[in-house]
Amino acid sequence: MKDIFLSVVIPAYDEMANFQKGVLEKVYTYLSKRKYSYEVIIVDDGSTDGSIEFLKHFTKEHAQFRIIENPHTGKAGAVTKGILASQGKYVLFTDADQATPIEELEKILPQFNYGYDIVIGSRNTQRNGSPLSRQIISRGFILLRQMIVGLPNILDSQCGFKAFENNAAKNIFQKVYDMHDGFKQISGSAVTAGFDIELLFIAARMGYKIKEVPVKWLYVETRRVSPVKDSIDGLSDMLKIRKNAIAGKYDYENK
């Protein structure tokens, strides 16, 4: 089997509306023009809107795309499943709505040439198109995260556009998997702030070098986002990470 340069992992839970907008075709169009080999792993997280049938048809016509059918464990479980199944030298996870377009890889991949193990997209404090209330909440979240968890050198921990060198990805996400006992099946949508913070926290504890790169990002309205609830859940997640850190659960000898 030919070595794969890049793996792209896309978690998907009831994403039919975005699939019908052609987001996967855009990903294919971009990647098919690159000189490197690639695979796209779409992890269906127990969708019930008919999108799995769409994906089966799409992957039949696009050989580099494949599906992993996952029980509904939430975004964290879906991303982790895809990362651990990836084969590329580098692996990116990106949101199905493509709020950060796949073309932003042009800014991400070159950074690995400078010795970084992880390169994450950053919206900085500019959230173009998002309501003012969301921007205020985001700034407050950054401050709270730095106070409770740390990671002072990272401004935007939540952008859904993160790339890893494969060995780093496998090591980090195996730790995440183990911390959550493999992720349990849930009901309803679950996109929690704690997932991104925890994986970066683990990466930092393991000594991996992280680079943050500004990327384009467009606000996409979604029924799954509830600013107040998400803020409360995010605070709860950060306190759990802090508690686990004090208990020594993130004390790793080396990477």
DSSP string, 124-152: TT--TTS-HHHHHHHHHHHHHHHHHT--T
Going by pLDDT thresholds of 50, 70 and 90, the confidence category of residue 83 is: very high
Instruction: Give the Cβ contact number of residue 88 at 10 Å.
Output: 23
Tell me the pLDDT tens digit for each residue of 120-129.
Answer: 999 865 555 5
Tell me the pLDDT tens digit for each residue of 146-174.
Answer: 889 989 889 899 899 999 999 999 999 99
The yes or no reply on domain 6-246 and CATH 3.40.50.300 is no
Decide if 227 contacts 133 (C-beta within 8 A): yes
Q: What is the share, in percent, of the chain residues with pLDDT greater than 90? A: 70
Q: Does the reported pTM lie above 0.75?
A: yes
**How many whole angstroms from its chain centre is CA 126?**
19
Among the listed residues 214, 213, 212, 203, the one whose alpha carbon sits nearest the alpha carbon of residue 254: 203
- The whole-number pLDDT of residue 227 equals 60
- The whole-number pLDDT of residue 1 equals 44
Mean pLDDT within 117-141: 70
d(CA 80, CA 56): 21
CA atoms within 13 A on the CB side of 131: 8
- The whole-number pLDDT of residue 162 equals 98
- The whole-number pLDDT of residue 123 equals 85
Is pLDDT of 60 > 70?
yes
Q: How far is CA 44 from CA 31, 66, 74, 85, 199, in A?
A: 21, 10, 10, 14, 21
Going by pLDDT thresholds of 50, 70 and 90, the confidence category of residue 189 is: low
Decide if 61 contacts 30 (C-beta within 8 A): no
Mean per-residue pLDDT of the chain: 89
- The whole-number pLDDT of residue 129 equals 54
Is pLDDT of 180 > 50?
yes
- The whole-number pLDDT of residue 186 equals 80
Tell me the pLDDT tens digit for each residue of 10-32.
Answer: 999 999 999 999 999 999 999 99
Mean pLDDT within 224-232: 65
d(CA 218, CA 1): 37
- The whole-number pLDDT of residue 147 equals 86
Q: Which of 115-119, 224-228, 240-244 has the lowest mean pLDDT?
A: 224-228
